[in-house]
Amino acid sequence: MGITMTRRAVFSAAVVVTALVAACTASGSCDMFTGTWVTDEKYPLYDSASCPFIRSQFDCRRFNRPDTKYLKYRWQPKPPCSLPRFDGLALLRMWAGKKVMFVGDSLALNQYESLLCLIHAAAPNAKYTVSPRSRKINPASTVTFREYNVTLVYYVTHYLVDIVKEKAGRVLKLDEIDEGRNWLGADVLVFDSWHWWPRSGPKRPWDYIQEGSKVMKDMDRTVAFAKALNTWARWVDANLLHTSTKVFFQGISPSHYRGQEWGAARRKTCMGETEPLNSTGTYPGGPIRQQGIIRSVLASMAKPVYLLDFTFMSQLRKDAHPSKYNGGNFGRDCTHWCIAGLPDTWNILFYAALTGQRG
């Protein structure tokens, strides 16, 4: 039950559903994703030095980030909402015998490793195994908490749809999702996509785009994203509608490379930022257009999908990126997020959605 969209239709649909929370965001009058950042001396929720799961590119404290204020902010949803206390032991018990899988790009990995740290902080003596032992992601990395028989998996896919090597080159197949067979059997699935779609030049991992029998050198990337997301939606409805699998989609995570988006100089980036933007209304740079496409597609699906609508709260956190404190992995990184840090709040909201707690 896909949606065929022209560029104009894509954005018309996005406008229509901007005020909607697609298929299962916070119910009633309680919107957990609207609020502000407040300081809280009880934060962070764990010491990153004690977490064995953080990759160097997210481990800002390890690489000597000098300020700590970014660790001290708690998300305060608009009343009557409030954040629940994250209970890692309760989550392990709830997930006993289950598999939880994060599917997407490195922003999904950001959330995955934060969740592992939160669980480890709650159960520091719990035995676990990591597979593969090298921790190389090809295409997945798995951590199993043996005592609870809980398996958490990160599966890397930058586009959700397939990239196939053919004689002509690498082809991005907008209407194929064969690798989805690797996601079947998970009890909880968390997806994300968009970060890689605008890439061009040597950083682009495909040579052609194909839809049906039509092969192109390129096309409008937002239109391509919408087509791919509809392919993903059809896959979810075909394979998961009659299962108990809980499905989530991570809202688009913003970058902070253009200071004019938050009222600073145009060439300002996240470098040196130590405080969030103080805003309870709209982000000065406006919403991310593609977030509307996600809302529209989720609203069209038969399978309920919970939108983890992290975008606005993350737009405010220009201070929470690794910048240069990332072991030299991504240069001056204003895309990913420090762990401990902002992704911990993502996971508290994930926990609230899983448990039905909204204050």
Q: Which among 162, 319, 333, 344 is annotated as catalytic?
A: 333
Question: 């899983």: which residue's tokens?
Answer: 354
CA dihedral (44, 46, 49, 52) positive or negative: negative
Active site residue 106: yes
Q: Which among 120, 158, 321, 336 is annotated as catalytic?
A: 336
Strands 128-131 and 140-145: antiparallel
Classify 289 as helix, strand or coil. Answer: helix
Q: Which among 48, 106, 296, 314 is annotated as catalytic?
A: 106
Six token digits for residue 298: 């989720």
User: Residue 15: which H helix or E strand, with range?
Assistant: helix 7-17
Taking the alpha carbons at both ends of the chain, their separation in whole angstroms is 36
CA–CA–CA angle 233, 115, 163 (5° rounding): 40
Active site residue 319: no
Cα–Cα distance for residue pair 33/118, rounded to 1 Å: 20
Cα–Cα distance for residue pair 140/131, rounded to 1 Å: 9
Active site residue 333: yes
Phi, psi angle pair for 24, to nearest 5°: 105, 35
Active site residues: 106, 333, 336
